[in-house]
Homo-oligomer: A and B are copies of this chain.
Amino acid sequence: MNTAAGMKVVTTRKEIQAIATKLKKEGKSIGFVPTMGFLHEGHLALAERARKENDFVFMSIFVNPLQFGPNEDFERYPRDAEGDRKKAETAGVDVLFIPTSEEMYPHPLSVQMKVTKRTDVLCGRKRPGHFDGVAAVLTKLFHLIQPDRAYFGLKDAQQVAVVEGLVRDYDFPVEIVPVGIVREKDGLAKSSRNVYLSEAERKEAPELYKSLQIANKAVEEGERNPEKIISIAKQHLKTHTNGKIDYVELYSYPELQPVAELRGRSILAIAVQFEKARLIDNIIFEI
């Protein structure tokens, strides 16, 4: 690890915890990148950031069944174990943790985690229980890997907000590091689900980011009314894509509370449903 010896691949909780515990006892710092695999440049940017700030970089690849609803895409979530290993190693990951569902959840949980704030808006509103599953798996992973810092992409800004709440409320000895969205050249936010877009949809997809940029311009020019900013983005999406607008919402960040007027940090977040892919994107305003 952290040497020419190459990346170590670990599949059991016992082994990953033993490796992490040993490193911590030696005073080494651990940066952790939790993922569901099918790695793209967004994930790799997290690993590269972790590489710069820690002695060792751990990455997990685990498609967590607890965070998928019964009608969601758990079974067909894209997977590419072999490609992921190569990408992770190239990005400087020292330890890759790839457990099975049975390894992570050998029996039903005797304690449930229930996220009660920051969840009833944006994607959380239509995914009841989703963030409960996220909180449970991250609690386990944080205990197994004992990171000093954990890296999360701001593409799922609601997830970052929920995780910051979890870590703050339960005093996890870990710093959450939010990392900016990585985009294709045409502006489309990188996502494992982009592979589901048809050719025509792929051409429209950058309009999500454009709608955010147009709204951002209005804010830069002085607009502070949330309704108007939402309307600007929505209008652009309506006229430039054939996808179904799932939501265009604006909240304080990370509290995710409605605001009467833009002030401090806030987020404009959008979701558009295409035929086989639901795309999300967002921009954070700092005023």
Binding site for B on A (CB under 8 A): 13, 17, 20-21, 24-27, 107-118, 135-136, 139-140, 143-144, 146, 162, 165-166, 168-173
On whether A110 and B114 interact (CB within 8 A), knowing A17-B173, A172-B143, the answer reads no
Which residues of the other chain, B, contact A27 by a CB distance below 8 angstroms? 25-27
Tallying the copies of this chain within the complex gives 2
Contacts of A116 in B (CB 8 A): 109-112
Min distance, Cβ A157 to any Cβ of chain B, angstroms: 15
Contacts of A166 in B (CB 8 A): 110-111
A115 to B110, CA, bound (A): 6
Give the contacting residue for A112; candidates B17, B114, B139, B172; CB below 8 A.
B114
Q: Which residue of B lies closest to A22 (CB)?
A: B27
Residue of B nearest to A161 (CB): B110
Taking the closest CB of chain B, its distance from the CB of A207, in whole angstroms, is 34
Nearest-neighbor residue (CB-CB) of A114 within chain B: B112
CB of A169 within 8 A of CB of B17, answer no
Q: Which 6 A-B pairs have the closest CB atoms?
A: A110-B165, A110-B117, A25-B27, A143-B171, A112-B114, A109-B169
A–B pairs, 30, beta carbons within 8 Å: A17-B171, A21-B173, A24-B24, A24-B25, A26-B27, A27-B27, A108-B117, A109-B169, A110-B115, A110-B118, A110-B162, A110-B166, A110-B168, A111-B113, A111-B114, A111-B116, A111-B135, A111-B162, A111-B165, A112-B116, A113-B113, A113-B114, A136-B170, A139-B170, A140-B169, A140-B171, A143-B170, A143-B171, A143-B172, A146-B173
